[in-house]
Amino acid sequence: MKKRIIIIACIAVAAIAAGLYGWHEYFRPNVDVAAVKPAYHISTNNLLNEFSKDDSDATKKYLGKIIAVDGKVKKVEKDEKGYYTIVLGTDDNSSSVRCAADTLHMQSIASLKEGSAVSVKGIFTGYNKDETGLLGSDIEVSRSVINN
């Protein structure tokens, strides 16, 4: 009798634990990039060079990783919906690192000045090679925050 109670109790505890884990997993929010250490910390120029040398290798290395990129603010763009993108790079290179701002950290990004030095952290999502010769190639970074 005692044994049976223990078994039932064990099963109940396991079921509750599994349920709680499932609940937690299901409602788990996206990680706040600001609180995560980057997998790579690199300068804009070195990153652009890596991609212009071999973009498929570089894509494999960085895809989905949180990276911190140091460089000069080429532009801060605000789109029609009010979202910000920090463009890192130099005027003499049409390629850039485009960091789409995380909506939770938009204010600090909006106040960035063109030409200033900055370190931006975000998730590398892909590389768009420019085939028109007019658009410039882009290293795309999402959920970007200022790297402190």
Tell me if 4 sits within 8 A of 31, measured CB to CB.
no
Distance, in Å, from the CA atom of 2 to the CA atom of 112, rounded to the nearest integer, reads 68
Among residue numbers 94 through 123, which ones bind other proteins (CB under 8 A)?
98, 100, 123
Tell me if 76 sits within 8 A of 106, measured CB to CB.
no
Q: Looking at 4-12, 35-43, 104-112, 135-143, which segment touches other proteins (CB under 8 A)?
A: 135-143
Tell me if 63 sits within 8 A of 91, measured CB to CB.
no
| DSSP assignment letter at 104 | G
132 binds other proteins (CB under 8 A): yes
Question: Can you say whether the dihedral through the CA atoms of 38, 43, 46, 48 is positive or negative?
Answer: positive
Q: Looking at 7-15, 66-74, 109-117, 128-136, which segment touches other proteins (CB under 8 A)?
A: 128-136
91 binds other proteins (CB under 8 A): no
Query: Binding string to other proteins for residues 52 to 71, with x set by CB under 8 A, is what?
Result: -------x---xx-------
Rule CB under 8 A: choose which of 3, 26, 111, 117 binds other proteins.
26
CB atoms under 10 Å from CB of 59, counted, come to: 16
Name the residues that contact other proteins, by CB under 8 A: 25-31, 59, 63-64, 77, 79-81, 83, 85, 98, 100, 123-126, 128, 132, 134-135, 138, 140, 142-143
